[in-house]
Amino acid sequence: MIDFNAESLKSKCERFGLILDSTAVNRLEAYGNLLLEWNEKINLTAITEPSEVLYKHFYDCLLFFSAVEVKKGAEIIDVGTGAGFPGIVLKIARPDINITLLDSLNKRLTFLSNVLNELSLPGKTVHMRAEEGGKTPELREKFDIACARAVAGLNVLSEYCVPYVKVGGVFVAMKSANCEDEVTASFAALKTLGCATPDTVKRQLRENEGRAFIVAKKISQTPPKYPRNTAKISKAAL
């Protein structure tokens, strides 16, 4: 078993009010080991050094709680979840939330289902393209939070994610610290999709390494025509 030193994150998380108990620490360790074990069979992450997994995956996702208010029992969907970031980490840290993990690649969801089972965590996996899920009545405007990390440009990502958010909820995009131009370019798209002007919350990951959380509150329903299909989004992004 690889030691990821997840225990060292406890004091860092306490600074922004997140308490990682021993169960959460043990689950992070187990998740890290499963990630690297499965990564030898399917492509899940290019980051494999334990200290890098600790910060660039685990702590990076835990910082979500320093930037976003997550109510007890919140319904959260992680769009294009990949290896489960941030969704699995959010669920480990806050077992009270209800997490839905959506991805277009079934083998990733097989991995995530295995992780949830091994960690004894309830969660839902959905095998679907983001733009298809946003049109599905069971998923459309059903979530308090839709989040995504490193999936697409913010104006494109907004069209994929905002349709999942209920009015009063938020869309959260995890972006690099130098994202000002990208955020400004997304204002029109977010407005069209029913969101207010977003807030940009910056956090420090390590020295010279930052993260930005783009938080957009949904103030009105998304027009039924959105999300469009991938071809139309690619050809004429909002």
Q: What is the pLDDT of residue 208?
A: 84
Is residue 234 predicted with pLDDT exceeding 90? no
Q: Once rounded to an integer, what is the mean pLDDT over residues 130-157? A: 94
* pLDDT, position 125: 98
What is the architecture, at CATH level 2, of domain 72-235? 3-Layer(aba) Sandwich (3.40)
Q: What is the pLDDT of residue 54?
A: 97
Tell me if the pTM is above 0.75.
Answer: yes
Cα separation of 226 and 193, whole Å?
Answer: 8
DSSP string, 71-115: -TT-EEEEET-TTTTTHHHHHHH-TTSEEEEEES-HHHHHHHHHH
Distances (CA, A) of 56 to 5, 88, 186, 211, 225: 13, 14, 25, 10, 36
What value does the mean pLDDT take over residues 174-185? 92
**Closest C-alpha to 187, from 176, 175, 178, 199:** 199
* Interatomic CA distance for residues 58 and 55, integer angstroms: 6
Q: Is the model's pLDDT at 207 over the cut of 90?
A: no
Nearest to 162 by CA among 125, 126, 131: 131
Residue 151 has pLDDT above 90, yes or no: no
Helix (H) or strand (E) holding 125: strand 124-127
DSSP 198: P
The structural domains of the chain, with segments of one domain joined by +, span 72-235
* 167 touches 194 (CB < 8 A): yes
